[in-house]
Amino acid sequence: MNMYETGQTSMIVEHSILRESYIPEKLFDRETQVQEILRCLSPLLKGRKSINLWLYGDPGTGKTATAFYLLNHLKEKAGIKGVLINCWQKDTFYEILDEIISQLRILGAEEHRTSMKLDRLRRYLNDQPFVIVLDEIDQLKPSERSTTLYNLDSLGNVGIVCISNSRHPLFELEERVRSRLNPYTLYFPAYSNEILMEILMYRAQTALSTGIWSENTLRQIAKMASGDARVAIRTLQAAAELAESERLDTISTHTLKRQWNNARQAKQDHILQTLTEDHRILYQIVKQRGQILSGDLWVEYLQHCVQAKRKPLASRTFSDYVNRLAQVGLIISERARVKGKVRLFKIVS
């Protein structure tokens, strides 16, 4: 007799716990980051300007979850309000300002002029401590990023927390803005397999029916996810949904393998979305060629920019951009078997 014959029709009993938007009551292996963030924001408790923060690390390392957790903590324990804005959805200063006003439900802020909205928000806050989290801030164009941070930092007792995959967007800020913001940079490393196991165990115990998963199943997922909690949780969810749709009793190794490719592709798509257009152009060239020498990649990139009537990267920046693709696991970079400092770039299969 299987689970369907006993009348139980769902492997997933609590869908919300497997969603990316779910914030757990407990954070795993992020105690150091939590304490550092609280240390930087603690001056707000005494009515002083806090230290701004720049949280960075690869996707799936808990940056957004930690920020959400701390916003809730500060509100419940100290009465400090805050907002989290996704800069992928709101990618101009005007849209970000409008979203902050909307979340705070500030009346009388329908004025379309940005200066009036900013003034209305300043008067509403009235030097009260407040935290603004800008998630995926690397999605803003450099000029828009500088404008946003310069103006938000002028609001008084406001702590600004920026979340990005790297520190590179910080260095793209105008000098006066970077100097004014002067954020404390905090790195979020990839999770170990052991920590991913704990994260998956927590989700499985609270979201899935008893008996449809095993520790061995979770261990396989943790190993496949390579430190990315987002991919691990998404794989677990997709495997459970597939097993349920096929009326299986458990999540099998076969089910996991089928869903792993989907999860890995979803991760690659998400990473590409968080990078710049130039990153995506370079990635597509490598993908189309399968493998390509660094010099040939530079030539093809320049040709693409000419055809697209697009201003290309400077040659000194080109290497940084290609190295970033390798760092996030989209391509493989190795020394070519030719004379000189030539690299060979391959697509990750």
Question: Which domains occur in the chain, in start order?
Answer: 31-187 (3.40.50.300), 191-272 (1.10.8.60), 276-347 (1.10.10)
Specify whether the CB–CB gap between 332 and 346 falls below 8 A: yes
pLDDT at 244: 84
Which parts of the chain have pLDDT scores under 70?
1-9, 108-111, 259-261, 263, 349
Tokens of 217: 């199943």
Query: Which residues share a beta bridge with 85?
Result: 134
* CA 324/CA 128 separation, integer angstroms: 39
Task: Count the helices and strands in the chain (H runs, E runs).
Answer: 14, 8
Tokens of 246: 């096929």
Question: CB-based contacts of 289: which residues, under 8 Å, 6+ apart?
Answer: 296, 300
**Helices 229-245, 215-225: crossing angle, 10 deg rounding:** 130
**Which single residue is written with the structure tokens 């400090």?**
80
* CA 250/CA 240 separation, integer angstroms: 8
Cβ neighbours of 171 (radius 10 Å): 10
Tokens of 19: 């969603």
Give the torsion sign (CA, 235, 239, 241, 242): positive
**Helices 294-307, 277-289: crossing angle, 10 deg rounding:** 120
Specify whether the CB–CB gap between 118 and 97 falls below 8 A: yes
Q: Element (H or E) spanning 263, and its range? A: helix 253-274
Q: Element (H or E) spanning 155, and its range? A: none
In the chain, helix, strand, coil percent, each to 5?
55, 10, 35
Tokens of 40: 């930087």
Tokens of 114: 């940005």
Cβ neighbours of 253 (radius 10 Å): 11
Tokens of 80: 């400090």
Question: CB-based contacts of 122: which residues, under 8 Å, 6+ apart?
Answer: 154, 155, 156
pLDDT at 109: 56
Specify whether the CB–CB gap between 1 and 249 falls below 8 A: no
